[in-house]
Chain A
Amino acid sequence: MRVEPKTGEKLISVVQAEDELAAVGMAIGAGWAGARAMTSTSGPGISLMAEFSGLAYYAEVPVVIFDIQRIGPSTGLPTRTSQADIGFVYTLSHGDTKHIVLLPGTVEECYELSRDAFDYADRFQTPVFVLSDLDLGMNLWMTPEFKYPDRNFDRGKVLSKDDLDRLAGEWGRYQDVDGDGVAYRTLPGTDHPAAGYFTRGSGHDEMARYTESADAYARNMDRLARKLETARQALPAPVVDEAGGSVGLIAFGSTHAAVIEARETLAEAGRPVDYLRVRALPLSDDVAAFVGRHEHVYVVEQNRDGQLFDLIRLALPAGLVGRLRSIRHYNGQPIPAAAIIDPLMDREAVPA
């Protein structure tokens, strides 16, 4: 649908890159020049994209990166599934880096969050990661029909020639004019003498000039943190299904399917559990509120180290941390309901 039938002219460009370094670099180059651009990877590919992700974060270039997680580390089991990239991807790159991460839990959500990822990338001028996994991304699933988008594209804060005329050319690429941490950008090719600026991964001030100033560096890093906080408020809220029980479950991504089955079984056994499904990082305040309403909350995930469990513990007030428990599944097979039911029943069992 993107190829003119008569001329063969393409309204899309798909490049088979030589490697993941080039793939993400091309997507960032296109994002910098103002096009919507994405790349996708799994396994070692996401490690290769770390350096460029840091550049896009720090230089504030929109790009969408899909990571269809498989089990690592290294080559791992390349045809098996896992959710073990979440901690790594959240802070992908050296230095203080934190990214927007979207966590679809169903096929329908893969479609919706993939679409919205481009809006978030443009709005917040930063990489947006969409974390799926081998189970969700490559196995066959039933899904309700996708819905036609109900809102327009959000291309974010881009200054046109007319905007620059109105501002009499007075603008700074990294100035926080609106107080939300999101600055205005111009695109290469904008026909105005004040449009051009120098994009760099080295230290820069509000006017995009090179600087090693300690103050300018800290100001910029603080603004980036402010920007992520703005994003946090706008990202998809967790999906909560709650009936006032004392035990809760938290999960994300493809673990959802096993949670549905586990909750049904547990309810039949007279042990109903409430459920919150995280859909984005950084975490919504709803997560802490959910933990606050329950005596025990089990974080279920498909990795060895309880990576989401750790992220939630870091985000919780100290008084709530003790309520959190961890259920982990990490053998490369999609998590079955029994892997949730059994440990939960064991730990919730009333001692005889």
Chain B
Amino acid sequence: MSTTLNRAGLARDAYKGAATTLCAGCGHNSITNHMVKALYELGVEPHLLAKMSGIGCSSKTPAYFVETAHGFNGVHGRMPALTTGAHLANRQLIMLGVSGDGDTASIGLGQFMHMIRRNLDCTYIIEDNGTYGLTKGQFSATADLGSVQKKGAVNTFQPIDPCAVALALGCSFVARSFSGDGKQVVPLIKAAIAHRGTAILDIISPCVTFNDHDGSTKSYSWVKDHEESIADVSFIPFFEEVHVDYEPGTIRDVRLHDGSHIVLKKLGEDHDPTDRQAAIKVLEEGRTAGHLVTGLLYVDPTMADFASTEHIPDRPLRDLGEDELRLTRDQFARFMSEFA
């Protein structure tokens, strides 16, 4: 373990949390490790991090990284509302939401969509295993049509694709990845955090207990055989110099609000991540071909986030004292006289 200190003066161990209680081999545990790496490398100050979650296996994971940060494990599917309120109370906080496919695509679909509609400044990670792992493995709404349950039941419903939903709503950052692909997940987490606005990161994360068998489209082996990465993703934070050694012409560089860069090295077909229609097309084509398209699908670094649209100051509203919140005697008297 490296003891190199990051720009916050912290070693990587400072980003660890309590021991996981999830199954050994769970994709979520890999994502937790990617989270530790991303937050450490970004140099996020733990006291400014707010780890938000709903209910489910996924939503337990914020306890497993950055133990010294504040966390809020709320009610099922309603993490966006808590995140909205907390963010408006204190814009200095880095809102990092962890959700699952049940939490997002079933009970929480409404709040998920309205969060995107407002472009709330937060990172929203979906640990997506297509199954209800806490309640013995029923299909979730993201399970693919024809996907087979452990005991043979076949899913007869169309899946809700959180990325497609997000794109349709005009979400300002949409990405998909696979829990086993740290090389791709880590830069995407960093980019999502650096992005100002709602950043959706749907990470396919196999459930080793209920959804890692033949017939599942969210198993380790299925994803390994069907993953189609649209570009190599690199992330360069604002405090590092841009230095890219790829061939010219194979690079796309997207500059985010805080000055950091997402650098994409194209693989095969060139995908322009600032073209929303192209993103919808690439998802649709992948679905038709039975491929899992991963990478940064879409980003719009220019869209104003919710608090900015609402003219909320950068300094935390929660710091407003009585002097600013309470009317003066004169103001109060004038206010009363309006009713006389």
Contacts and interface: CB of A to CB of B under 8 A. Distances in A.
22 contacts: A1-B331, A13-B307, A13-B317, A18-B111, A22-B81, A25-B81, A32-B85, A32-B86, A33-B85, A34-B89, A34-B90, A148-B333, A153-B326, A189-B70, A189-B90, A193-B68, A196-B69, A198-B63, A198-B73, A199-B72, A200-B71, A201-B75
Contact of B68 (A11, A29, A196, A199): A196
Interface in B11-68: 45-48, 50, 62-63, 66-68
A128 interface: no
Nearest to B14: A193
A270 B333 CA distance: 43
A94 to B, nearest CB: 11
Contact of A29 (B45, B86, B322, B327): B86
Interface string B304-340: 0001001111001110101011110101110010011
Contacts of B70: 186, 188-189, 195-199
Given A26-B81, A33-B318, A188-B90, A55 B324 contact: no
Contacts of A199: 70-73
B192 interface: no
A9 interface: yes
A55 B74 contact: yes
Interface string A24-41: 111111111111110000
B114 interface: yes
A194 B327 CA distance: 36
Interface string A8-24: 11111101011101111
A28 B331 CA distance: 29
B84 interface: yes
Interface string B95-127: 000000000000000110010000000000000
A121 B296 CA distance: 43
A201 B164 CA distance: 31
B73 A13 contact: no
B47 to A, nearest CB: 5
Given A13-B312, A52-B75, A199-B71, A29 B47 contact: no
Interface in B266-306: none
B310 A10 contact: yes
Interface residues of A, number: 57
A162 interface: no
B46 A193 contact: yes
Nearest to A187: B318
B71 A189 contact: no
B233 interface: no
B158 interface: no
B93 interface: yes
A30 B86 contact: yes
A18 B120 CA distance: 14
Q: Which bracket fits the contact residues of B? A: 35 or more
B313 A11 contact: yes
B88 interface: yes
A187 B69 CA distance: 11
Interface of B: 45-48, 50, 62-63, 66-75, 78, 80-90, 92-93, 110-111, 114, 307, 310-313, 316-318, 320, 322, 324-327, 329, 331-333, 336, 339-340
B88 A13 contact: yes
A36 to B, nearest CB: 7
Interface of A: 1, 3, 7-13, 15, 17-19, 21-37, 51-52, 55, 145-146, 148-149, 152-153, 186-202, 210
Q: Which 8 A-B pairs have the closest CB atoms?
A: A29-B85, A25-B81, A35-B89, A34-B318, A33-B89, A30-B85, A29-B82, A26-B85
A279 B304 CA distance: 46
B59 to A, nearest CB: 10
A186 B84 CA distance: 19
Contacts of A198: 62-63, 70-73
A21 B317 contact: no
Contact of B316 (A145, A189, A201): A189
A21 B44 CA distance: 31
Contacts of A8: 311
Given A26-B85, A201-B75, 7 more contacts: A21-B78, A25-B78, A28-B81, A32-B82, A33-B90, A33-B318, A196-B46
A157 to B, nearest CB: 16
Contacts of B313: 9-11
Contact of A148 (B45, B71, B92, B332): B332
B110 A19 contact: yes
B67 to A, nearest CB: 7
A34 B45 CA distance: 19
A11 B320 contact: yes
Nearest to B46: A196
Given A33-B89, A35-B89, A201 B74 contact: yes
